[in-house]
């Protein structure tokens, strides 16, 4: 089975197929090959502010400690279905309306993540005995509350369940951290292609700037296959805590170091030493933020979205740093808002850094929109 989330407005218009959470999530993530100790020993603990933040536990990882009569769970399910069905494509509202069909699909996933015997609730109601109890990973009261938050507060489904399926990963997410988007998976695909044909890239140091949940860093570390290493940075202490937690869940502490700070500031020790630099920075023009889909604009962190007047503030900083940070021959890939921004960045790199990069390219996303700028350090 797959999970297909509707795309969110600030990325491309495409949806992506995901593995089902409760299948992939009921056990620990797949273990990686043995790691190199030196990197973990060097500096694996996140710095400063993030240390006091304990990432939330997603529903699927919680202990199913709430035995609840099936009849009560069915009552909740009927109520939740009615609430989902009652929303209608109501308005020309700039924040976009909810879609009952999508909500009903999410409700099924919520049940799969939170109820051990989910089949008794979803499919086998006729044959089940209503005096039975089922084990829930959250109290029924919390499930009522979560579903209300989803519909009435437009809280993104991924924050409700506390995870997102991304590539072959299931990443914990929560408020304060961007929900990784399907198109960003292409950055890891590009890195995979590169390291598969050239070992130089496989054995070197990579950086993922503005790592958020750690999605790209973890994806890159996995395609490096236990050989190179990755430094993941973010300015947000919540992102640092969540990324650190995801790195640990995938047992990648030996390969990924999470560092807190602004862009290149925490990377002084690896100046000129990176073989790869990847980033999905904030790139929404400030004036577009109020018009974003409610789930995004009301709940996702502005720090992850707002790219300044034309959306390129962070991208320009990354361009500046790339020439300083990369080794000769090193690769970079930056995600942008789309065609127009990609062209601006290529133009900028061609005119202001003309002797620094070669093979500058705009790479399209799943929808054929020029989404990424890539190139190599001369
Ligand atoms: C669009 S989000 C991308 C998150 C993640 N890489 C992903 O693709 O899901 C941008 C990230 O950049 C971080 N960020 C914003 N300003 C930053 C800065 N000055 N230095 C480092 N990270 C920053 C945000 O906290 C956020 O996590």
Q: Model pTM?
A: 0.88
Q: Which residues line ligand 1 (CB under 6 A)?
A: 178, 180, 184, 209-213, 215-216, 233-236, 239, 262-263, 280-282, 303-304, 314
Domain ranges of the chain: 30-55+176-377, 59-161
Q: Nearest CA to 205 among 188, 193, 220, 190?
A: 220
**Alpha-helix runs per DSSP H in 153-276:** 157-161, 185-197, 199-202, 215-224, 237-249
Mutation test residue for ligand 1: of 173, 304, 321, the one with most atoms within 8 Å of CB: 304
User: Which pLDDT does position 119 carry in this prediction?
Assistant: 78
% of the chain with per-residue pLDDT over 70: 83
Mutation test residue for ligand 1: of 191, 265, 303, 311, the one with most atoms within 8 Å of CB: 303
Which residue's CA lies nearest to atom 2 of ligand 1? 304
The DSSP secondary-structure symbol of 337 reads: S
* E-assigned strand segments in the chain: 2-5, 16-19, 66-69, 133-136, 163-166, 169-172, 205-209, 229-234, 256-260, 274-279, 326-335, 357-364, 370-377
Mutation test residue for ligand 1: of 175, 234, 299, the one with most atoms within 8 Å of CB: 234
Exposure of 247 by Cβ count < 10 A (0-12 exposed, 13-18 middle, 19+ buried)?
Answer: buried
User: Which pLDDT does position 20 carry in this prediction?
Assistant: 28
Q: Nearest CA to 172 among 235, 114, 281, 245?
A: 245
Which residue's CA lies nearest to atom 17 of ligand 1? 235
User: Which pLDDT does position 126 carry in this prediction?
Assistant: 67
Q: How far apart are CA 95 and CA 42, in angstroms?
A: 46
Q: How far is the CA of 234 from the centre of ligand 1 (A)?
A: 6
Mutation test residue for ligand 1: of 50, 178, 213, the one with most atoms within 8 Å of CB: 178
User: Which pLDDT does position 121 carry in this prediction?
Assistant: 77
Per-block mean pLDDT, blocks of 10 residues, the chain (378 long)? 42 31 32 34 50 91 95 94 84 70 96 88 70 92 98 97 98 98 98 97 97 98 95 98 98 98 98 98 97 96 98 97 97 98 96 89 97 97
Which residue's CA lies nearest to atom 18 of ligand 1? 262
User: Which pLDDT does position 128 carry in this prediction?
Assistant: 66
Distances (CA, A) of 157 to 16, 168, 190, 303, 309: 15, 19, 28, 20, 29
Q: Is 96 left (phi over 0), alpha (psi -120 to 50) or beta?
A: left
% of the chain with per-residue pLDDT over 90: 76
Mutation test residue for ligand 1: of 46, 207, 210, the one with most atoms within 8 Å of CB: 210
pLDDT in tens, 344-363: 999 999 998 778 999 999 99
One of 3.20.20.120, 3.40.50.150, 3.90.1300.10, 3.40.50.720 is the CATH number of 30-55+176-377, namely 3.40.50.150
User: Which pLDDT does position 151 carry in this prediction?
Assistant: 96
Q: How far is the CA of 60 from the centre of ligand 1 (A)?
A: 26
Atom of ligand 1 nearest to the CA of 216: 6
Which residue's CA lies nearest to atom 20 of ligand 1? 262
Which residue's CA lies nearest to atom 7 of ligand 1? 180
Atom of ligand 1 nearest to the CA of 187: 8
Provide the b/e sequence for 315-334 (b: ≥16 CB within 10 Å): bbbbbbbbbebbbeebbbbb
Q: How far is the CA of 304 from the centre of ligand 1 (A)?
A: 5
- Position of tokens 């929404």? 284
| Angle, alpha carbons 301-305-310 (nearest 5°) | 150
Which residue's CA lies nearest to atom 19 of ligand 1? 262
Q: How far is the CA of 214 from the centre of ligand 1 (A)?
A: 10
Instruction: Tell me how long the chain is.
Output: 378
User: Which pLDDT does position 118 carry in this prediction?
Assistant: 82
Q: How far is the CA of 211 from the centre of ligand 1 (A)?
A: 6
pLDDT in tens, 127-165: 667 678 999 999 999 999 999 999 999 999 999 999 999
HSE toward the beta carbon, residue 25, CA cutoff 13 A: 31
């Amino acid at each position: 089975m797959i999970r297909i989330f509707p795309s969110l407005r600030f990325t491309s218009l495409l949806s992506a197929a995901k593995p089902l959470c409760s299948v992939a999530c009921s056990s620990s993530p797949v273990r990686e090959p043995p790691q190199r100790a030196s990197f973990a020993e060097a500096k694996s603990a996140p710095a400063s502010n993030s240390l006091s933040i304990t990432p939330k536990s997603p529903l699927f990882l919680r202990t199913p400690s709430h035995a609840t009569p099936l009849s009560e769970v069915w009552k909740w399910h009927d109520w939740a279905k009615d609430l989902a069905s009652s929303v209608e494509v109501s308005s020309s509202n700039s924040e976009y309306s909810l879609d009952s069909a999508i909500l009903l699909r999410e409700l099924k996933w919520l049940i799969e993540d939170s109820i051990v015997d989910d089949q008794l609730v979803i499919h086998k109601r006729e044959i089940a005995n209503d005096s039975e109890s089922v084990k829930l990973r959250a109290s029924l009261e919390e499930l009522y509350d979560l579903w209300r938050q989803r519909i009435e507060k437009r809280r993104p489904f991924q924050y409700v369940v506390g995870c997102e399926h991304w590539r072959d990963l299931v990443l914990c997410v929560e408020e304060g951290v961007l929900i990784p988007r399907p198109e960003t998976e292409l950055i890891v695909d590009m890195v995979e292609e590169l390291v598969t044909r050239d070992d130089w890239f496989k054995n070197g140091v990579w950086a993922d700037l503005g790592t958020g949940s750690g999605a790209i860093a973890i994806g890159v570390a996995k395609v490096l296959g236990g050989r190179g290493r990755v430094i993941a940075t973010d300015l947000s202490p919540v992102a640092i805590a969540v990324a650190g937690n995801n790195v640990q869940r995938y047992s990648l502490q030996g390969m990924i170091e999470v560092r807190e700070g602004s862009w290149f500031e925490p990377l002084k020790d690896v100046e000129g030493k990176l073989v790869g630099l990847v980033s999905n920075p904030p790139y929404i023009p400030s004036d577009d933020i109020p018009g974003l889909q409610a789930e995004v604009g009301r709940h996702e962190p502005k720090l992850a979205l707002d790219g300044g007047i034309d959306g390129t503030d962070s991208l320009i900083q990354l361009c500046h740093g790339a020439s300083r940070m990369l080794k000769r021959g090193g690769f970079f890939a930056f995600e942008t808002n789309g065609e127009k921004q990609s062209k601006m960045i290529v133009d900028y790199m061609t005119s202001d850094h003309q002797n620094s990069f070669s093979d500058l390219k705009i790479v399209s996303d799943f929808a054929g929109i020029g989404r990424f700028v890539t190139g190599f350090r001369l």
